Amino acid sequence: MTDRYLSISKVNMAFERNGVRNQVLKDINLEVKRGEYISLIGHSGCGKSTVLNIIAGLLRATDGVVIVDNKEVNAPGPDRALVFQNHSLLPWLTVYQNVELAVDKIFKDKKTAAERKDWILHNLEMVNMGHALERLPSEISGGMKQRVGIARALAMEPKVLLLDEPFGALDALTRAKLQDEVMRIQNELQNTVVMITHDVDEAVLLSDRIVMMTNGPSATIGQILDIELARPRDRIALADDKLYNHYRHEVLSFLYEKQRKVEDLGSKRSKKDGASALAANG
């Protein structure tokens, strides 16, 4: 794996509304290797989706730079494909047509019509959706819709696949099956993945590294945990694995113990500053 395939350097993000400035992200720095699977985890409101949207080019950072394969990110592009928690399929198009739309846009001048058809079918087969080509989104389950969304993203051959809680709306069994599919596909393609999740087990199961973010405002990267579990990974075998459970404990400790201490310290400082201000004015 080559270093610095995806580089996030000194990224800050602030939003201003009615003259009030809200610092969402502060000094985000992350180097991602080619073929690495990275998970961003943290409490709601810590800016995980903002980081992903900046990588995708949907948002411009207030400061800092994002580079993918030696090119600066300034706008959305086919080198970065984003899969949302909501599948975002066009309801009037069939499963095949939803993927075809993306493939035709990216490869119209690079592949023949026959090559594009084969490529669409290949990607739908890869997510086990080759049997439902002519179905509309309303005729398939939530898990199947998400499979199509992933197939559409993969069919774009992105340099970086961005997943925004892609399994969050699914039931537990469907979620587990789709996680296994994503692990299988990523192991086969060796593509670079950045995923947002709230699920600790999911993060440990899928990731090479887990990036833990502090609570906002001014959220930043609090800790990065290397996951040194052999691949391919078997969720049942890992359930009793000491190293797997050690990683789970590390993430839970950060989210629920270290963050609480930081918040308590911040609260004490605020009270101290308030008391000092009252004393000065008194």
Instruction: Name the pLDDT band for 86 (thresholds 50, 70, 90).
Output: confident
pLDDT for res 277 = 45
> Measured between alpha carbons, how far is residue 187 from residues 57, 230, 233 in Å?
26, 12, 10
**What topology does CATH give the domain 6-79+160-281?**
Rossmann fold (3.40.50)
**E-strand stretches of 102-239:** 160-164, 192-197, 209-213, 221-226
**For residue 186, which phi and psi values (nearest 5 degrees)?**
-65, -35
The domain locations on the chain are: 6-79+160-281, 89-157
Q: What is the pLDDT of residues 89-113, one digit of tens each?
A: 999 999 999 999 999 999 999 999 9
CB burial class (10 A; 0-12, 13-18, 19+) of residue 28? Answer: buried
Instruction: Name the pLDDT band for 27 (thresholds 50, 70, 90).
Output: very high
pLDDT for res 104 = 96
* pLDDT higher than threshold 70 for residue 1: no
When pLDDT is averaged across residues 138-142 and rounded to a whole number, the result is 94
Q: Of the candidates 128, 130, 206, which has an alpha carbon nearest to the alpha carbon of residue 165? A: 206
pTM: 0.87
What's the mean pLDDT when you consider all of the chain? 90
